[in-house]
C-alpha cells in the first residue's frame, strides 16, 4: 500500500454527514477492501506530495496511529482549500480502482480542538465533474477519546464519481480556513468497504491508565517529542552549531559545525526562550526558581546556567551555576540548578527574559563536540515516564529497513550488497569474480553512527562486537578495530573465526577486545570497524554470504532474528516466484491465502515461521509448474508477525504476515 499527502484545490459540493457511534454499517466480519492502520513498518506512511512542505506527520507504531500537524502555521500555513490525498493499493501493490459494493470510508480519529473533517472521492481524470460530493462531520476537541465515523456514498451524493474507476480519496481538515483547529489531529485507521476488527484498534490514550499529571509547580518543559518543540538559539552559538532534534528519542544533540575554521566562541551561550502552553512568553518565575536538565555528553564538559531579566544586562542576571557532566553517552545525568538569595544577583523573577546555557565556558568549542539534552524544565521535573530511553548502545545493523548502512571500503566496489528487508539480512557476493575480483586483504568497513547520525567514537566499556552469519562456502570471518589515523600502530589484533558452509543455519559470533588483543587501539577514539571474508584469498569461498545483524554492546533481541535460510539468488537470474499473501493483516482463525508463480517444474515447499524463527506450519514438498494457490490455517496462532517461506531448488521467496 502507498499513502501520501498533497494539497489540491477543489470546488464546494453538497454535504452529507454519516456518523458511526461505535456501530458500523455493513456486515461485521467482512475484511476491509483497504485499511491503513499504522501498526507495523509495512503500513503506509503519510509523507510525500506538496503537503510535506507544511505538514509534520508523526507515526507512532506503538499506538498504531499517525498525528498530523502544520509545521509552521504562521509562516507556512496550510492553505484553506487543500486536501490530503490517499491512493489505496491492494496486497499485491496494485491500485484499487473498483469500489463496487464498497462505497463507505471508515475513520477513527481524535483531535486537540474541534475540527471539521470532509471526504470526497475522485475518478477518471479527477476533474470537478468526476468527483463525489463532500461528506463532512465535526470531530470534537477531545484527545482522550477516539471518535468513529463512516462516510457513506450513494446515489444522493455520488455526483459524477464512477465507482469502477477510483482515482484517489481526498480528505480535508477545516476546509475553507488556513490551518486547522488545535493543530494536532490523530488517525487510528482509514479503511474502505468495512472497518477493521475492533481488536486491532489503537488503545492510546488508555482511559484506564490516564497520563501522569504534570508535576506540581511545573511551569515549562521542552522534551523534544515533536519537531515543533523549541530549539536552542544564540546569536553566536546557533549559527555555527548543528542542533539535531530527534523526536523518536525525544532529545536534542548539539555539535559545533566547523570547530577548526568557525569555532564556538569561548564565552558564548546557547539561549532558551520558554513559553506558556498558549504560546506566550513565560516571564513570571515567582517561587519557581529552579531549572532542571537531563543530559549526557561524549566527553567531560562544564555545563553552566544563568537567567536574565529586563534588558538582559549584566546587572539584570543571576549568578552562574555550574556542574561537571561526565564523558559518558551510555547514561543520562540529571541536574537541578536552584536560584535563591545567595545567587539571584540582579535578576527579577517576575520578568524573565531568557535562560542561558554554557558548554565549557571560557574555552573555544566544548569537549567531545557532542552533547545531548533530554529535557529542560523550569519549576519542577517532568514525570520520569516521559524520559528518553535512547542511548548510543547497543548499536545494531539489522537490515530490517533500507536505512541500515552497508559495508564500505575500497573492496566494496567489487561486491553486490543486497538489503533484504523481508528477511532482515544483508546478502554479499562478488559481482564479477573473474574480471574484477574481491582482492585478498581487502576489508569490509563499518563506521557506526548514533540515532542522530553522528559517528560513534567512544567504545569505552563496549568492546564486544556480535554478528550472525551464514555462508554458502566455508570462510574465515576476520575482525579488527581502528583508532587514530588507522595505521597498524592504532589497531586491535586480528581475530578470526570459521563460518561453516551451511546456508540452512545461522552461526552466531562474538568478538571481544581486551588487554590480550587490544594492540594500539584507543577505545575512546574509534575510527572504524573492519571485517574480512577469507582475508588471504581473492574472492571468498562460495561467493554467497549473509549477515543477519552486526551489533556493538550486546546482541539484539532474538525475536528480531532473521528466519530466512536456504539459497536465495542474489542476482535474481531465475524467474521470480512472485509470492503474495492475503488478507494481510489477517485475524487469527481465518485462512491465509497464498498465490505464487511456480515458474519451474520442480518440488516446492511452503512453511510458516513465527517471530522466533520456529516453523509453526508446513506443507509437504509438492511438484508444480505455473500459477498456483495455497492456503494456510491460522487457528491457534498467537497475534504477531509471521513469515511465509516458499522454497525450491535455487530459489526462496518470503512474505511477512501480521496476525491480529
Say which residues have a Cβ less than 8 Å from residue 445's Cβ, sequence separation at least 6. 407, 408, 409, 412, 528, 529, 530, 531
Q: Is 154 within 8 Å of 163 (Cβ atoms)?
A: no
Write out the E strands in 33-159: 34-36, 55-60, 65-70, 84-86, 104-111, 115-123, 135-139, 147-152
Q: Rounded to whole angstroms, how far apart are CA atoms 563 and 428?
A: 18
Q: Rounded to whole angstroms, how far apart are CA atoms 182 and 112?
A: 5
Tell me which range, 44-48, 54-58, 488-492, 630-634, is most confidently predicted by mean pLDDT.
488-492
Q: Cell for 619?
A: 506443507
Summarised one tens digit per residue, pLDDT across range 494-512 is 999 999 999 888 999 999 9
Query: Closest Cα partner for 548 from 559, 540, 534, 532?
Result: 559
Kind of pairing between the strands at 444-446 and 220-222: unpaired
Answering whether pTM is above 0.95, one says no
Q: Cell for 466?
A: 556480535
Neighbours of 496 (CB within 10 A): 14
Q: How many residues does the chain have?
A: 660
Summarised one tens digit per residue, pLDDT across range 220-277 is 888 888 766 677 888 888 899 989 888 878 899 999 999 999 999 999 999 999 887 7
Least confident of 146-150, 299-303, 614-618: 614-618
DSSP 504-532: EEEEEEEEE--TTT-TT--TTSEEEEEEE
pLDDT higher than threshold 50 for residue 4? no
Neighbours of 189 (CB within 10 A): 25
Phi, psi (rounded to 5 degrees) for 45: -105, 150
Reported confidence tier of residue 1, pLDDT bands at 50, 70, 90:
very low
Query: Closest Cα partner for 209 from 425, 432, 385?
Result: 385
pLDDT higher than threshold 70 for residue 22? no
Q: Rounded to whole angstroms, how far apart are CA atoms 505 and 509?
A: 13
Query: Whole-number mean pLDDT of the chain?
Result: 82
Query: Is the alpha carbon torsion for 48, 53, 54, 59 positive or negative?
Result: positive
Summarised one tens digit per residue, pLDDT across range 297-321 is 988 999 999 999 999 999 999 999 9
Mean pLDDT of the 172-180 span? 88
pLDDT of the residue at 122:
93
Amino acid at each position: 500500500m502507498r499513502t501520501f499527502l498533497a494539497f489540491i484545490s477543489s470546488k464546494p459540493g453538497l454535504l452529507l454527514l454519516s456518523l458511526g457511534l461505535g456501530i458500523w454499517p455493513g456486515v461485521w466480519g467482512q475484511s476491509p477492501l483497504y485499511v491503513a492502520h499504522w501498526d507495523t513498518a509495512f503500513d503506509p506512511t503519510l509523507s510525500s506530495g506538496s503537503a510535506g512542505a507544511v505538514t509534520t506527520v508523526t507515526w507512532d507504531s506503538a499506538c498504531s496511529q499517525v498525528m498530523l500537524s502544520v509545521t509552521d502555521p504562521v509562516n507556512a500555513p496550510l492553505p484553506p482549500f487543500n486536501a490530503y490525498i490517499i491512493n489505496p493499493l491492494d496486497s499485491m501493490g496494485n491500485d484499487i480502482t473498483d469500489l463496487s459494493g464498497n462505497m463507505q470510508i471508515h475513520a477513527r480519529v481524535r483531535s486537540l480542538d474541534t475540527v471539521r473533517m470532509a471526504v470526497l472521492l475522485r475518478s477518471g481524470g479527477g476533474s470537478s465533474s468526476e468527483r463525489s460530493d463532500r461528506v463532512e462531520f465535526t470531530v470534537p476537541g477531545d484527545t482522550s477519546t477516539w471518535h468513529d465515523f463512516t462516510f457513506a456514498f450513494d446515489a444522493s451524493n455520488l455526483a459524477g464519481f464512477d465507482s469502477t474507476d477510483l482515482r484517489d480519496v481526498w480528505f480535508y481538515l477545516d476546509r475553507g480556513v488556513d490551518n486547522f483547529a488545535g493543530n494536532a489531529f490523530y488517525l487510528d485507521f482509514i479503511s474502505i468497504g468495512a472497518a477493521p476488527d475492533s481488536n486491532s484498534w489503537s488503545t492510546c490514550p488508555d482511559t484506564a491508565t490516564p497520563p501522569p499529571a504534570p508535576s506540581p509547580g511545573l511551569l515549562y518543559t521542552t522534551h523534544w517529542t515533536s519537531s515543533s518543540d523549541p530549539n536552542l538559539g544564540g546569536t553566536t552559538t546557533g549559527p555555527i552549531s548543528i542542533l539535531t532534534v530527534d523526536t523518536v528519542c525525544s532529545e536534542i544533540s548539539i555539535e559545533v559545525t566547523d570547530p577548526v575554521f568557525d569555532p564556538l566562541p569561548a564565552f558564548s551561550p546557547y539561549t532558551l526562550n520558554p513559553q506558556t502552553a498558549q504560546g506566550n512568553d513565560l516571564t513570571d518565575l515567582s517561587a519557581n526558581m529552579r531549572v532542571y536538565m537531563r543530559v549526557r555528553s561524549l566527553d567531560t564538559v562544564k555545563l553552566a546556567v544563568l537567567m536574565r531579566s529586563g534588558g538582559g544586562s549584566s546587572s539584570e542576571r543571576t549568578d552562574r551555576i555550574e556542574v561537571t557532566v561526565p564523558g559518558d553517552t551510555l547514561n543520562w545525568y540529571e541536574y537541578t540548578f536552584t536560584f535563591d538569595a545567595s545567587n539571584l544577583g540582579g535578576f527579577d523573577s517576575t520578568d524573565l527574559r531568557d535562560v542561558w546555557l554554557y558548554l565549557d565556558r571560557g574555552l573555544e568549542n566544548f569537549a567531545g563536540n557532542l552533547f545531548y539534552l533530554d529535557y529542560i524544565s523550569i519549576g519542577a521535573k517532568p514525570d520520569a515516564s516521559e524520559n528518553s530511553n535512547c542511548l548510543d548502545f547497543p548499536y545494531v545493523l539489522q537490515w530490517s529497513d533500507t536505512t541500515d548502512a552497508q559495508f564500505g571500503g575500497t573492496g566494496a566496489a567489487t561486491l553486490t550488497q543486497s538489503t533484504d528487508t523481508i528477511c532482515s539480512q544483508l546478502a554479499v557476493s562478488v559481482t564479477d569474480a573473474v574480471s574484477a575480483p574481491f582482492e585478498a586483504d581487502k576489508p569490509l568497513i563499518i563506521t557506526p553512527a548514533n540515532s542522530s547520525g553522528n559517528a560513534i567514537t567512544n567504545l569505552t566499556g563496549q568492546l564486544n562486537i556480535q554478528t550472525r552469519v551464514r555462508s554458502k562456502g566455508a570462510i574465515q570471518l576476520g575482525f579488527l578495530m581502528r583508532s587514530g589515523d588507522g595505521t597498524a600502530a592504532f589497531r586491535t589484533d586480528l581475530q578470526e573465526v570459521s563460518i561453516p558452509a551451511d546456508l540452512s543455519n545461522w552461526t552466531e559470533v562474538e568478538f571481544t577486545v581486551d588487554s590480550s588483543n587490544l594492540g594500539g587501539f584507543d577505545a575512546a577514539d574509534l575510527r572504524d570497524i573492519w571485517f574480512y571474508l577469507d582475508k588471504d584469498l581473492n574472492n571468498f569461498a562460495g561467493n554467497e554470504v549473509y549477515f543477519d545483524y552486526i551489533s556493538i554492546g550486546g546482541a539484539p533481541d532474538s525475536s528480531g532474528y532473521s528466519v530466512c535460510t536456504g539459497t536465495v539468488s542474489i542476482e535474481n537470474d531465475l524467474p521470480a516466484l512472485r509470492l503474495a499473501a492475503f488478507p494481510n493483516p489477517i485475524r487469527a482463525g481465518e485462512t491465509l491465502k497464498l498465490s505464487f508463480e511456480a515458474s519451474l517444474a520442480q518440488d516446492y515447499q511452503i512453511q510458516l515461521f513465527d517471530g522466533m524463527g520456529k516453523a509453526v506450519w508446513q506443507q509437504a514438498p509438492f511438484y508444480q509448474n505455473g500459477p498456483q494457490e495455497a492456503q494456510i490455517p491460522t487457528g491457534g496462532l498467537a497475534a504477531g508477525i509471521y513469515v511465509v517461506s516458499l522454497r525450491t531448488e535455487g530459489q526462496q521467496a518470503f512474505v511477512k504476515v501480521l496476525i491480529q
